[in-house]
Amino acid sequence: MDFLKPSRYVPMNRRRRIYEGKAKILYEGPEPGTLIQHFKDDATAFNNKKHAVIDGKGVLNNRISEYIFTQLNQLGVPTHFVRRLNMREQLIREVEIIPLEVVVRNVAAGSLSTRLGIPEGQQLPRSIIEFYYKNDELNDPMVSEEHITAFGWASPQDLDDIMALAIRVNDFLSGLFLGVGIRLVDFKIEFGRLFEGDMMRIVLADEISPDSCRLWDNASGDKLDKDRFRRDMGGMLEAYQEVARRLGILNDNSSSQPSGPVPVN
Ligand code: UDP
């Protein structure tokens, strides 16, 4: 597969932009069937009603997501990730995104607590998978398997694959984070269809980072995720750095501004 090899450098301003989301941009990749996923510093919440730029967040999410997707690939969980290209970008395989946000929960928090009145922090009797239809105009409404198959967003076979993969991702992530003193409360993942000849496979897509997970320090209960931004708690970048540091991605003495030009005296 040619695109697995290092490829010719294409200047940033000559690349075709395929899609721009809230926190990422997708550019045309160096080979057919590939894309470049660029992590921005933008933080948004409540369907874009709240917005800020957190210098260095994109760099951290690129690294954290690379770390997780690489290990998942090695474990045989298929993903769109090929390799990291630079501080903010990774090479990915082009997939047809399934318009669902798949949320896996281990502990009650956020919308589950609000909707069902279950106190935040209560361990759930078992892991729960929920589906939300990706549609900003509708505020990503929660949907059931019935809606998903009836409207053709995914087939029953696709859904079986998605749920089996979601459980494997949850098992892996729960153990990974527990090993570094972090409780994995819940997370959101997305899947895509990867076409190879006349074969189609469901693969994990998008990203896994503190933007899309709830991560609580095991000992103190401190939030190490995007809730720091959603709930105006401050210290978001420091929390993301702490996650990266514990995963062994950043060394202890790395600076708090991992991106941007360095002044030369
Ligand atoms: N989540 C996400 N993107 C979304 C909605 C949720 O990444 O658009 C993640 C969120 O960070 C949390 C999990 O999915 O880890 C469950 O979120 P919840 O349904 O509780 O929604 P929220 O409380 O964020 O509205």
Predicted TM-score (pTM) of the model is 0.92
pLDDT value at 179 more than 80: yes
pLDDT value at 265 more than 60: no
Position 9 confidence tier, pLDDT thresholds 50, 70, 90: low
**Of the candidates 263, 222, 246, 237, which has an alpha carbon nearest to the alpha carbon of residue 59?**
237
Query: 130 Cβ partners below 8 Å, 6+ apart?
Result: 102, 103, 105, 112, 142
CB atoms within 10 A of CB 226: 24
Q: Is the CB of 62 under 6 A from ligand 1?
A: no
Token pair recorded at residue 38: 């660029």
pLDDT, tens digit, 9 for 90 and up, residues 211-245: 999 999 999 999 999 999 999 999 999 999 999 99
Q: Which atom of ligand 1 is nearest to the CA of 186?
A: 15
pLDDT value at 258 more than 70: no
Q: Is the CB of 103 under 6 A from ligand 1?
A: yes
DSSP state of 223: B
Kindly report the CA angle at 70 between 8 and 63, in degrees rounded to 5? 75
Return the bridge partners of 150, or none.
none
Q: Is the CB of 214 under 6 A from ligand 1?
A: yes
Q: Domain 12-95+245-263 in CATH: superfamily? A: Phosphorylase Kinase; domain 1 (3.30.200.20)
Position 186 confidence tier, pLDDT thresholds 50, 70, 90: very high
pLDDT, tens digit, 9 for 90 and up, residues 47-99: 999 999 999 999 999 999 999 999 999 999 999 999 999 999 999 999 999 99
Q: Which CATH number fits domain 97-234: 3.40.50.300, 1.10.10.60, 3.30.470.20, 3.40.50.970?
A: 3.30.470.20
Going from N- to C-terminal start, the domains of the chain cover 12-95+245-263, 97-234
